[in-house]
Amino acid sequence: MKTINDFNFKDKKTIIRVDFNVPLNDQFEVTDVTRIQSAKPTIAKILADGGSCVLMSHLGRPKGKQEEFSLKHIVSKVAEILGTEVKFVDDCIGDAVKEAVDNLNSGEVLLLENLRFYGEEKSGDVDFAEQLAAWGDIYVNDAFGTAHRAHASTTIIAQFFEDKKCFGQLLAREIESIDKVLNNSEKPVLAILGGAKVSSKITVIENILDKVDHLIVGGGMTFTFIKAQGGSVGDSICEDDKMELALEILEKAKAKNVEVHIPVDVVAADAFANDANTQVLDVTEIPDGWQGLDAGPKSLAKFDEVVNACKTILWNGPLGVFEMETFSKGTIALGHSIENATKNGAFSLVGGGDSVAAVKQFGFADKVSYVSTGGGAMLESLEGKSLPGIEAILN
């Protein structure tokens, strides 16, 4: 696996695919700088070598050229975080870009305009990719968030660089972290899958059963499993058409010697609201009019035991409706358990969607081993799929 550490970038122009798809408020200010910060080590190494950086990214889902999706809004924030001036050109191909790239000196950074102002980016157009490729002697991909897309800047472009292409530091760490969980893991291995629905996690569960010793199933998925086994789940979220599948998963887990842990008690509410009346109930005895919205204390004690007995921990999906304070306690308690296990030497990876939001919101981000930056890319990796953006660098 070639990374930026295998290159000396002195006097080289480097075209880097970063993921600067950051959230903006209605004043067009960046409200979460994580993705910009994550790209900094790669850019810093190239500048320190004496190279120059041409940065390309998408932002949002523009339909053609739409001012509100311009990367010009983030230039000052990128400059502030990198601690260096950042030049900007209001296109990503064409004469203006050529001039800006030609005038770029060693140690300088140039940010191109939103790649998705061109439909050719998402369609993976080869001509468009070749035009982007002209802006660098070396191609670096550091955008994990789009590594599962065969877009022009993430995948197609790589063919124009033969051996002059590599992973940035962020993407390399993502690949290593996933590998540490799925392939080179220290046992016992635990996967915690929470979130709303079985249907969105089924491929992950199926793939992960071959990799883990323990599986915690939590969140809204709990109730499909409980009802399938004959429990009463009241008004809890439940996918009746996935009950058969839930039973099959339990069978498969048994055959593979995977211990499955499902909540035994829940915090149930009489409405889907933060100020609803609540009571702790046995998970199999939830009456109509009540819905389980968080894991209960007995479940959390059991999960704490399991987490602390494991050496490798993957966490995807919250244990409850963490967006509401009343139902956030299970997710927070689980975060503390993982924090503790990590302190005692376990490797913990948090990835894929809402669990990342939860660890950030509750301050666990620097207390676990690694927090993934890619939602969809992470899920596809966990599903066992190879990602085109990664393959394009490897091949």
Binding site for ligand AMP (CB under 6 A): 195-197, 200, 219-220, 237, 292-293, 317-318, 320-321, 323, 353-354
Measured from the CB atom, the residue of 196 and 260 that comes closer to ligand AMP is: 196
Task: State the nearest-atom distance from the C-beta of 242 to ligand AMP, in Å.
Answer: 13
| Active-site residue flag, 149 | no
Please say whether the dihedral angle defined by the alpha carbons of residues 368, 374, 377 and 380, taken in this order, is positive or negative.
Answer: positive
Whether the CB-CB separation of 344 and 313 falls below 8 Å is answered with no
Specify whether 384 is catalytic: no
* Among the listed residues 357, 16, 381, the one whose alpha carbon sits nearest the alpha carbon of residue 177: 381
- Min dist CB 383 to ligand AMP, Å, is 14
The distance of closest approach from Cβ of residue 194 to ligand AMP in the complex, given in angstroms and rounded to an integer, is: 6
Q: Phi and psi dihedrals of 312, rounded to 5?
A: -135, 130
> Closest CB to ligand AMP among 104 and 196?
196
At its nearest, how many Å lie between ligand AMP and the CB of residue 272?
A: 8
Active-site position among 17, 35, 149, 227: 35
Q: Is 353 one of the catalytic residues?
A: yes
Of 175 and 295, nearer to ligand AMP (C-beta) is 295
Shortest CB 301 distance to ligand AMP, Å? 19
Q: Which of 77, 107, 302, 376 is catalytic?
A: 376
Smaller CB separation from ligand AMP, 15 or 221: 221
- DSSP summary character for residue 148: T
Between 68 and 275, name the residue whose CB sits nearer to ligand AMP.
275
Rounded to whole angstroms, how far apart are CA atoms 42 and 366? 20
Does the annotation count 292 as an active-site position? no
In terms of Cα–Cα distance, which of 244, 237, 124, 169 is closest to 16?
A: 169
Distance, CA of 357 to CA of 226 (rounded, Å): 27
Catalytic residue among 40, 197, 252, 367: 197
Residue facing ligand AMP at closest CB distance? 195
Q: Which is nearer to ligand AMP, 136 or 317 (CB)?
A: 317
Minimum CB separation from ligand AMP for residue 219, in Å? 3
Separation of alpha carbons 19 and 13, rounded Å: 19
Q: Which of 219, 353, 374, 389 is labelled catalytic? A: 353
Within the chain, residue ranges assigned H as helices are 34-49, 75-82, 95-102, 119-123, 126-133, 169-182, 202-208, 222-228, 243-255, 297-309, 329-343, 354-361, 375-382, 388-394
CA distance 124 to 150: 6
Residues paired with residue 217 on neighbouring β-strands, in sequence order = 193
Q: Scanning the structure block, which residue is given the tokens 């209605």?
A: 26
Active site residue ranges: 35, 197, 353, 376
